[in-house]
Amino acid sequence: MKVVIIEDELPAYKRLVKLLGELMPEAEVAAHHDSVSTAKLWFEENDMPAIVFMDIHLADGSAFDLLKQIKIDAPIIFTTAYDQYAIEAFKASGVGYLLKPIKSEDLEEALDKLNDLKKMFSTPEDNQAKLLEVLKQPEYKKRFMIRFGDNIKTISVEDIAYFFSENKGTFAKMFEDRTYPIDNNLDALEQMLDPERFFRINRQYIISLKAIKEMKTYSKARVLVKLQPEVKEPPLVSSERSAGFKLWLAGEL
């Protein structure tokens, strides 16, 4: 099994090779790169490996810079010293997201997940293509855990009409007209939510398609949206989001 390691820190590279030797002795390191430029050149001239281990911060850019330049048709296990890139990593066929220094048990868990996904497919020659198809289907948020006072409860995303920000806080408005505080800000929520069901219309609101009661043209580029449950001042779709909003309404986004 050939693997490629893209890592610009030599101690981290050596540690990963050591752990792979212990957990996956059949693995052969086909290439090691420390930059976007050299990795890009290698992938353009060689066959795809079975797995790619990719550090997010590289000598001349980021892993995401590389993925914008080339298509890697192989499962990717990301490695990084930071945890804020998890959502973006899993959007890029990420089967694992390992924080440095990499722990043996974390690497083993990521490799087990990859093996479990491979076993889901019965035709060996189709495994890689089908596996990548599964990995590229993002997992969107299904429920949130809510804390208020000493109480804890969960709410389903299906029951949320819209999210809004107010007084530096973020809240979820339920279709039943209850309001709950949310730990995540709107920028983070925008990445977590299914874009077919939710759209961020401006800086203050992310709305569900089902929550739209009525829409009116406000100006040439803006739309006023009346929501259910009602908002005292119906929000406006910002001019920069208006075109995307209309595509979303038509199911074309």
Where do the domains of the chain lie?
2-135, 143-249
Distance between CA 26 and CA 5 in Å, rounded?
15
Distance between CA 160 and CA 178 in Å, rounded?
9
Hey, what are 118's tokens?
Answer: 């491979």
User: pLDDT, tens digit, for every residue of 114-142?
Assistant: 887 766 654 455 555 555 555 555 568 88
Q: How far is C-alpha 233 from the geometric centre of its chain's CA atoms?
A: 32
> What's the pLDDT score for residue 93?
57
Hey, what are 63's tokens?
Answer: 């892993």
Residue spans of alpha helices (H) in the chain: 10-23, 36-45, 63-69, 86-91, 104-119, 127-135, 186-192, 239-249
Please name the residue that has the structure tokens 């995540």. Answer: 184
Q: Number of helices (H) and strands (E), helices first, in the chain?
A: 8, 17
Q: What fold does the segment set 2-135 form as a domain?
A: Rossmann fold (3.40.50)
> What's the pLDDT score for residue 122?
45
User: pLDDT, tens digit, for every residue of 212-223?
Assistant: 999 999 887 789
What is the model's pTM? 0.50
3-state secondary structure of 34: coil
Hey, what are 28's tokens?
Answer: 């052969």
Distance between CA 180 and CA 159 in Å, rounded?
12
For 6-32, what is the mean pLDDT?
A: 94
For 214-243, what is the mean pLDDT?
A: 91
Q: Which residues pair with 215 in a beta bridge?
A: 225
Neighbours of 41 (CB within 10 A): 13
What's the residue count for the chain?
Answer: 253
> What's the pLDDT score for residue 110?
87
Residues contacting residue 3 through CB under 8 Å, at least 6 positions apart: 20, 27, 28, 29, 30, 49, 50, 51, 52, 53
The CATH number that domain 143-249 falls under is 2.40.50.1020
Distance between CA 89 and CA 63 in Å, rounded?
9
